Amino acid sequence: MKSAEPALVLEIRVSTSRQVLDDFDSGTIDAAIVRRHDNRRRGGEVILKESFGWMAAPDFEHHDGEPLRLATQADPCSVRSMAVDALNKAGIAWTEVFVGGGVVTIGVAISAGLAVAALGRRVAPLDTIDVGTALGLPPLPSRDVVLHASPGDQPTRQSLRTLAAAIRATATKH
């Protein structure tokens, strides 16, 4: 982003995709980068396809007959809903043992071996692995990460393209 317009100010807000889209629709923000989790809004520029895994520390221990220990974000997190739905449909007992306030806090919990978390592979801590197959967990669907932007001036559009490219570059993790 070092070639971005010097007078441009990027204010980044982290929230649920639904809240970010509401802010975008109301004109509160000029651009929204969200995970497409429903058919509420089509269009936008697909930046990448987010693949998810059941991430945990390599030494995470799950004992047969016990509920799967989960680290999640609080409702209405769409990733939490996706994970819980997949486990419920597969008939896998689970319990929340950690509810965090973002990907970083979830990452700390799973790196410490407290639980398993459904996370995008690109944002999972590098010291974690996908334990889904080993634990017999159901596969998780992928989701598009989409940029929605209001028409803006050329410097703003160029800065958004640069930001989208930077996000695409994160897809090489895990």
CA distance 117 to 79: 10
For the domain 52-130, what is the CATH code? 3.40.190.10
Could you give the residue range(s) of every CATH 3.40.190.10 domain in the chain?
52-130
Residue 1 has pLDDT above 50, yes or no: no
pLDDT-based confidence at 4, cuts 50/70/90? Answer: low
Residue 129 has pLDDT above 90, yes or no: yes
- pLDDT digits 0-9 by tens, 28-54: 888 888 877 665 667 788 888 889 999
**C-alpha dist (Å) from residue 53 to 92, 110, 114, 173:** 16, 13, 16, 12
